[in-house]
Amino acid sequence: MSSEINGQVSPQPCPHLLDFRSRNGFKPFRAFQDLIRVKRPGGLPAIRREISEVPRCCTCEESSRSRLYACVACAAVFCYAPPLHSHASAHALSNPGHEIAIDVDRAELFCCTCRDQVYDRDFDAAVVFAQTVTITATTSTSGCTVMQCNIAGFQPENLRKRRRVDNRPCSPDSREHVIIGNHLFSLHDATNASLISSTEIPWGLRGLNNLGNTCFMNSVLQALLHTPPLRSYFLRDRHHRYYCQQKNGAINGTKSSRLCLACDMEAMFSAVFSGDRTPYSPAKFLYSWWQHSANLASYEQQDAHEFFISMLDGIHEKVAKEKRKSQSPGSGDCCSAHRVFSGILRSDVMCIVCGFTSTTYDPCVDISLDLEPNQGVSGKSSSAKSHNSCNVEADCMGSNQNSGISTLKGCLERFTRAEKLGSDQKFFCQKCEVRQESLKQMSIRKLPLVSCFHIKRFEHSSIQKMSRKVDRYLQFPFSLDMAPYLSSSILRSRFGNRILPFDGDEQDASNELSSEFELFAIVTHTGRLDAGHYVTYLRLSNQWYKCDDAWITRVNESIVLAAQGYMMFYVQKVLSL
């Protein structure tokens, strides 16, 4: 059940948590204060344990599951890995009173019966206190006094007052005065460890609060909020939010329909570029995205690239439904997202025997690239909606996958290099009228305004039945010329200056847009496959900034070049600002 307060739907508290509090007193989580630890200032809290201690599920004895939870009633550890199984939920069902557990790696409350995160003010106070003690012990000379405070006598309900008033007995120093003057906007200069004045902050640079494992969303949203064509579209009121809601009956409540992601994007652009420097919480956008991608609606960590694709599909689906006709993303005029990111790939499959060539065109919003070298396996894939997949699965997942250095230009060259398809992938030659071995070559028929390159760092092996992350370093340029990878350039290198009947329109297509691109955003991933973190680097006014959820830091180019790129956004040089 839920209640409505000031027009907002507020969910009822978890009944199992209320039952736990009624059975264990008014402050049942006070004993957990000394069991929570924070590795470093600003780091994530976790359950305190020895360095050599590896938590394992008491049922399956696995330590690599997506989540491990410790029961607050019996301290037993169980895994939660939907949709496969949930030993934590099974433990709660077979033992009444054992429904509430704590995330071992993140110190978050979880109801194993409701299968959702729950909030408790008393427990949250204990977590915040552990974080505050860690920060004070590191940054304050009087940290030892705070560390020696009586934890048993600490009052959780007064934590927020203690954190604001009593935690720092000294008066604010000059750096703290700057923070207060800038409305608590956490923008630091990593080059000289100084704070940046508000006059030097680029317009629209604002942190995004983490709403619970939403760094994958925040990293992509930061890149989209500062994509020049997309920013120009929404800030010029090209998408009328009120008109869109009125047309869909969302204002008067006369029509039942899913929320519009473009409307929420427009609202987010207005909020981020309003001049407010405090971190913004994209909760409404997250809820709308959950409505469009119900299979991804959870507080689990998701893939940033998958979020990017599903978000663009959600905007496109809404526009296509309103116009009551099928809109092709490759046309470039279907919706705001595809106007910016949509391109067209060309695929040529040539018969080795007679030379007959079959050409197909597929729309795409990004290009996925394998890191080179990949031991002879061609890395060609895209987010095109094509059913003719001729990729070879890379089953070799040895340690050498992480060795060596790859370059973005080398990955693009491999993507557009002709490859011989295997004997099990013969295509039907219309001239020979039999299945023949063939050569396949990919090229870019039409460039988008913004090119997004997705680096495939997550590998999955069907033979070994395992997944892993590729940590190989990737070199990428700040300026990129896409001319060598266009269909016109590849056809010219293959056939010279001869005019062929099937490529007569390639010259005009390549001249529609400029081939010179500039890097303006890069999404990076650090950590393991199942427990990583996403961060975005933005280039604004010829200066690079690191966007780590709510925290914004100014960095130099060397830090950006050393980052482990996962998604790279290049804009046409004539459009870059």
Could you give the residue numbers annotated as active site? 215, 533
Cα–Cα dist 534/566, whole Å: 9
Q: What is the CA radius of gyration of the chain?
A: 27
- Burial tier of 539 (Cβ tally within 10 Å: 0-12, 13-18, 19+): buried
Type of residue at 184: L
Please report how the helices 215-225 and 304-323 are oriented relative to each other, as an axis angle in degrees rounded to 10: 60
Residues facing residue 405 across a β-bridge: 473
| Beta strand residue intervals within 246-356, DSSP E | 343-351
Helix axes 261-272, 228-235, angle to 10 degrees: 90
State whether residue 331 is helix, strand or coil: helix
Q: Give the C-alpha separation, 194 to 198, whole Å.
A: 13
Q: Which of 112, 121, 99 is nearest to 19 (CA)?
A: 99
For 97: left if phi > 0, alpha if psi spans -120 to 50, otherwise beta; the answer is left
Orientation angle between helical segments 215-225 and 228-235, nearest 10 degrees: 80
CA distance 114 to 130: 27
Provide CB contacts within 8 A for 560, sequence distance 6+: 522, 537, 544
Closest CA to 200 of 577, 558, 535, 540: 540
DSSP string, 449-460: SEEEEEE--EEE
Q: Which residues lie closer than 8 Å to 352 by C-beta, 6 or more apart?
A: 420, 436, 437, 438, 439
Residue 182 and residue 196: Cα distance in Å, rounded? Answer: 9
For the chain, the straight-line distance linking the first and the last C-alpha, in angstroms and rounded, comes to: 49
Q: Provide the greatest CA pair distance for the chain.
A: 87
- What stretch of H or E contains 279? none
